[in-house]
Amino acid sequence: MKSFASDNYSGIHPEIFDAIQNANYQHEISYCDDTFTSETNQIFEKIFGKLVVLYAFNGTGANVICLKCCTLPFQAVICSDMAHILIDECGAPTQSIGCTLLPIATPNGKITPELIAPLLKGVGNVHHIQPKVISISQSTEMGTVYSLQELKNLCQFAHSNGLYVHLDGARISNAVASLGVSIKVATVDCGIDIMSFGGTKNGLMMGEAVLIFNDKLNENAHYYQKQSAQLFSKNRFIAAQFSALLSNDLWYRMASHSNRMAKFLENQIKELPGVKITQSVDANALFVIIPNHVIPPLRSKYTFYEWDSETHEQRWMCSFDTTEEDVFGFVKTLKELL
Ligand SMILES: Cc1ncc(COP(=O)(O)O)c(C=O)c1O
């Protein structure tokens, strides 16, 4: 099956697979006290400076740990109305933290200080929930990427209003490759307090890292990880994957490739009559409206998701292993159907 459905349809990059095998030769101390985890923590520290690193099986778990570190049950998380934490995590953050999510309508997935300001009116009023965190996704659920200036403005606004900034980095590698700067410059240097660093969507078998930059958020993090059922006794197999991902620029090679394939697809289709690209193609996803009659036959050959059932906007996503031939084949089928 060839797919443009999601970057988690793809498999495991061979260098990651090798890393898992290489971690499989000896006994190691369990629960993150192994040599692989401590070596990988050091790699993270080299990249980001001083921080606390935790690991999680999946993005939902990583987000829950991050938000738990930042909030109490009477507090609230401000997020986009398309945020994965709001739409696609079955209420995990609200269920396990008890906090409220305050969604903001965001046509392109990005939230701004201007959009947040009205939500802060009840701060200090005991009858109102208290916003404590701004949660952003980078890249966003709409395939767009916050610029460095947008990130800095948001973090500055948050901190001057006593809020933390959480970054859902399920696709942070794609965003950073798109921005063309170092990962540190695109995250902690902008003022991000806590983030998830995605692995699964960029060639790992499974695994995300929680990176805590603000030491006010550390105190209970390890307990939250355990209580959220995200502490893996054989964590060496997640850590070894991150070690490979962060070595030899593998994260960058994979993410810049999937971004390039998305641009390539955009360039092949943008002039086609009846095709409307609805979002800026900043990372590895395209959002596209095509004539209704084309959708079922195209989907019978290539899997992809309908994003909006009213407008019939479709989401097409490229992975680290999407090839130019895959794109050519997809475009050829689309042209024939049009
Ligand atoms: C923006 C975003 N955050 C987090 C996740 C992680 O989800 P999961 O818990 O399925 O790994 C996803 C996956 O689709 C995502 O798109």
Return d(Cα 77, Cα 38) in angstroms, integer.
32
> Sorting pLDDT into bands at 50, 70 and 90, what band is 18?
very high
Residue 27 Cα, ligand 1 centroid: separation in angstroms?
Answer: 32
SS3 301: helix
Compute CA distances 296 → 208, 288, 318, whole Å: 34, 15, 20
DSSP state for residue 99 in the 8-state scheme: P
Return d(Cα 79, Cα 158) in angstroms, integer.
13
Residue 273 Cα, ligand 1 centroid: separation in angstroms?
Answer: 33
Q: Is the pLDDT of residue 78 over 90?
A: yes
Mean local confidence (pLDDT), 195-218: 97
Return d(Cα 324, Cα 338) in angstroms, integer.
21
Residue nearest to atom 6 of ligand 1 (CA): 59
For the Cβ of 137 lying below 6 angstroms from any atom of ligand 1, the answer is: yes
Compute CA distances 286 → 128, 179, 264, whole Å: 39, 17, 11
| Nearest CA among 311, 326, 325 for reference residue 279 | 311
For the Cβ of 207 lying below 6 angstroms from any atom of ligand 1, the answer is: no
How does the average pLDDT of the chain come out, rounded? 97
Return d(Cα 266, Cα 226) in angstroms, integer.
43
Strand partners, 315: 287, 305
Find all residues with CB under 8 Å of 195, minimum gap 6, and list them.
Answer: 66, 166, 167, 168, 169, 172, 187, 210, 211, 213
**Nearest atom, ligand 1, residue 137 CA:** 1
Residue that the structure tokens 């929930």 belong to: 129
Q: Is the dihedral of CA 283, 89, 201, 147 positive or negative?
A: positive
Q: Where are the alpha helices (DSSP H) in the chain?
A: 14-22, 35-48, 59-70, 84-87, 92-97, 113-116, 148-160, 172-179, 221-227, 236-246, 250-269, 295-301, 324-337
Q: Is the pLDDT of residue 63 over 80?
A: yes
Amino acid at 193: D
**Nearest atom, ligand 1, residue 208 CA:** 11
Q: Which of 55, 64, 88 for mutating ligand 1's site (highest number of atoms within 8 Å of CB)?
A: 88
Return d(Cα 23, Cα 78) in angstroms, integer.
40
Compute CA distances 183 → 23, 176, 177, 178, whole Å: 26, 6, 9, 11
What pLDDT sits at residue 1?
66
Return d(Cα 215, Cα 188) in angstroms, integer.
12
Digit-coded pLDDT (tens) for 268-283: 999 999 999 999 999 9
For 179, the enclosing helix (H) or strand (E) is: helix 172-179
Model confidence, pTM: 0.97
Residue nearest to atom 5 of ligand 1 (CA): 59
Residue that the structure tokens 């949660």 belong to: 135
Residue 60 Cα, ligand 1 centroid: separation in angstroms?
Answer: 6
Digit-coded pLDDT (tens) for 231-248: 999 999 999 999 999 998
Find all residues with CB under 8 Å of 38, minimum gap 6, and list them.
Answer: none
For the Cβ of 200 lying below 6 angstroms from any atom of ligand 1, the answer is: yes
What pLDDT sits at residue 2?
76
Please give the structure tokens belonging to residue 11.
């498999």
Residue that the structure tokens 């309508």 belong to: 105
> Sorting pLDDT into bands at 50, 70 and 90, what band is 58?
very high
Q: Rounded to a whole number, what is the largest CA-CA distance in the chain?
A: 61
For the Cβ of 7 lying below 6 angstroms from any atom of ligand 1, the answer is: no
Domains of the chain, each with CATH number or no CATH: 14-249 (3.40.640.10), 250-337 (3.90.1150.10)
In the chain, what are the helix, strand and coil shares in percent, each to the nearest 5?
Answer: 45, 15, 40
Residue 295 Cα, ligand 1 centroid: separation in angstroms?
Answer: 25
Q: In percent, how much of the chain has pLDDT > 70?
A: 100
